[in-house]
Structure 1
């Protein structure tokens, strides 16, 4: 058997002589609880994990190299395929990075709409996480309840951009569409029901003795471990470290809305579950404030930067220069300034950042993505040893990893 170079150190230290209680098994990459194409090589002593090696790459698509061979606007639909549970968060992070490179300011209305979209995406992502995590652990009813609310949220996304899963709902310089008539009323109706629904989820799970036995003191991430592995999002805040980029490095209008950053000192899977519940409540709070902010904004939804961004459709259809400029931007692409830029956002799973190196060409010279799930998969080799095989499924599900953003 040909052993890949990256796994040589692991295999060299294994004892292949038969022992009654020792074995090496493959968890995945085709496993219903692997949450994508995750392959874990587990060394077991009885039912206890003594060693774990994550082996990724089964979903690799060369996404960063694709980005280096596409014009900037052309790459936006590709970002949907990273964290496909919250596609607009990827669109948003990439658009913010390019805007930072171009040095352009997005109109206020576009910022409000963007925040509505990404915060609604946060609820969609958290509901999906709770449904699948609970199903992994053995709870069926909660799956049905979460997917019911998720469908209503996805209906709102579909009303806005026409897509339910891969949205492409954000553009460099703003957003493609204003909110449709009646959309805010539908959003408000959805938000008014969410606190009651979250209380229902907690009523089913929080004091359920089986749920607590499966999650409490399982998958404990210490603050030192979280920082050394580069954890972010709930995985970091669940270890008692209060860090949220929306507060620490505000972007868009997050410095104008009030919300709290929930933190847990337990470091275990149960503490992280409680944080996800509280985060949904805070997102509802943010969205209510954005609904109030929207009417006071002007009607502009795209930045005015003719060198980089097409004119509004009305001008393209009536003015010759705007039509020619639009033709050049679509066929040849914009030419941003020479330089390097990194921009990070707080996606539902943690810090999602894009690094771009520009040489002034229509294509990035270098594109690098910092995806939170990659680091939350790496930590498994320190987190799983000492756990039982039954807890492996709980820990993987609790960390909320998605392989679209790991195997880029």
Structure 2
């Protein structure tokens, strides 16, 4: 029976070829790992190629584009008004904020402005969307780092606000509620109520419907009064939690200069102490008329970015209260009185064949937008979401390009996670709050 080559001779040969025992040990310790591609843990399909030294990251190479759906090219093949629903499907937890940037770009090129009431409604729903986004982030990031209960708490309030989305637009997620020239319709006078069921009946059913006896504004008023105590519950679970702090304090520190160099915006930038918020620096809609504070961090780590998002939910609640008060006191139109962009009313279509034909032509052919180009951006929950729009005078855009905050953030992955442990990569992906619908587009 052959005994083969002795192991000590094999080791001596490898050491001679690689430069000695230290180099051999380094080769054994360094390896490449595929992190993904996967969907459930990353709100999209992310592939990270990690070069590891044991459990320490030496290099991180993010590969994106695995979810590419051609949104920009699809928008260039359809009339302007038919692309509003595409915007919902980019960052699908910041739906109306995406719509806002797109309709602002069209309104700028056409030289029209939404009625004042519509602008207040947009401001209010932008903040409802911000809370929806941050609740999703809080729950999913908690799960990523091992905290399960917070997701159940966060989704409790999220369902209430999804009911508001559904009541105003008919859809719980992809609303298509904002339109060039205003919004689809005014706020409803009644909120939908829960019906008797095995899960909700008697006194329990009455408690669930207590806020739903009046209008949507009544519902939102009561929600805004109650929500700060719910945020206190989230903070009780996490803010001073020893395990949560061990996973986030000092992890993924981004100095303010580095954050600006990478083009970061939103909580990623404000978490590093830079008080940049388009709602304050370049106000749109009615943000110049509402009172709120910009939440900023100090250390620029994952924990600070958590605190910034929690503080933003409190500020969004303040804004919603102010919008509700204004909307109660000021009825009015929510769409421009301009048949070029606004459909005729149903009553007009019943009596006037010309109005009926106009309705069909508006939704099938759209309208021609004057030639020109513009860039309009909003402070979306994840950062600056912008729409660069070019028109050549036709009824379809010549060029649509969308500025997604998550793309700039994910590009910095290598610079930030280098030297951290493998488990810290999960914390960084969570703190980026990525959704690949907007990153890959």
TM-score for both structures, normalised by structure 2: 0.87
Of 183, 191, 195, 2:228 maps to 195
Match of 2:123 among 107, 115, 124: 115
8 Å CA contact 2:295, 2:308 repeated in 1: yes
Where do 1:250-261 residues align within 5 Å? 250-261=283-294
- Is 335-344 or 316-325 further displaced after alignment? 316-325
1:330: how far off? 2.1
CA distance in 2, matches of 1:120, 1:312: 28
Aligned match of 2:202: none
Q: Deviations over 1:22-50 (max 9, x none)?
A: 11011111164333201111000010000
**2:47–2:64 Cα contact (<8 Å) kept:** yes
Moved over 6 A (4+): none
Q: Deviation at 1:105?
A: 1.1
CA distance in structure 2 between the partners assigned to 1:392 and 1:97 by the alignment: 36
Indicate the RMSD between aligned Cα atoms, in angstroms.
Answer: 1.7
Deviation at 1:165, TM superposition (A): 1.5
Q: Give 1:321 deviation, angstroms.
A: 3.9
Match of 2:310 in 1: 277
- Range with bigger deviation, 269-278 or 111-120: 111-120
Residue of structure 2 in register with 1:89 after alignment: 97
Cα 1:331–1:288 change in 2 (3 A) is: same
What is the aligned counterpart of 1:216 among 249, 269, 272? 249
Report what 1:407 is aligned to: 440
Question: Aligned equivalents of 1:383 and 1:166: distance in 2?
Answer: 34
1:308–1:336 CA contact under 8 A, matched in 2: no
Partners of 2:265 and 2:384 within 8 A in 1: yes
Distance apart, 1:310 and its partner CA: 2.5
1:74-153 superposed matches below 5 A: 74-153=82-161
Counterpart Cα distance in 2 of 1:317 and 1:171: 23
CA radius of gyration, larger in: 2
User: Does 2:322 correspond to 1:289?
Assistant: yes
Contact 2:42 2:434 in 1 (8 A): no
Pick closer, same or farther for the CA change 1:300–1:31 going to 2, 3 Å.
closer
* C-alpha distance in structure 2 between counterparts of 1:327 and 1:169, whole Å: 19
Aligned residues: 394
Which range moves more in the overlay, 299-308 or 266-275? Answer: 299-308
Q: Is the 8 Å Cα contact of residues 90 and 438 (structure 2) preserved in structure 1?
A: yes
- 1:308–1:334: 8 Å Cα contact kept in structure 2? yes
C-alpha separation in 2, matches of 1:317 and 1:340: 38
How far does residue 308 in structure 1 lie from its aligned partner after superposition? 3.2
Structure 1 residue 95, shift from structure 2 partner:
0.9
Q: Measure how far apart 1:18 and its partner are.
A: 8.5
Q: TM-score scaled to structure 1, two decimals? A: 0.93
SS in structure 2 of the partner of residue 28 of structure 1: strand
SS of the residue corresponding to residue 311 of structure 1 reads: coil
Deviations 1:279-307 (A, max 9, x none): 00000000000011003324211012223
Equivalence map 1:5-404=2 (5 Å): 19-30=27-38, 32-181=40-189, 182-404=215-437
Task: Classify the secondary structure of the residue corresponding to 1:29.
Answer: strand
Quickly say closer, same or farther: Cα 1:272–1:242, change in 2 above 3 A.
Answer: same
Counterpart residue number, 2:203:
none
Partner SS, residue 39 of structure 1: strand
Runs (5+) with no aligned partner, structure 2: 1-22, 190-214
Separation of aligned partners in 1, 2:159 and 2:358: 40
Deviation at 1:320, TM superposition (A): 4.1
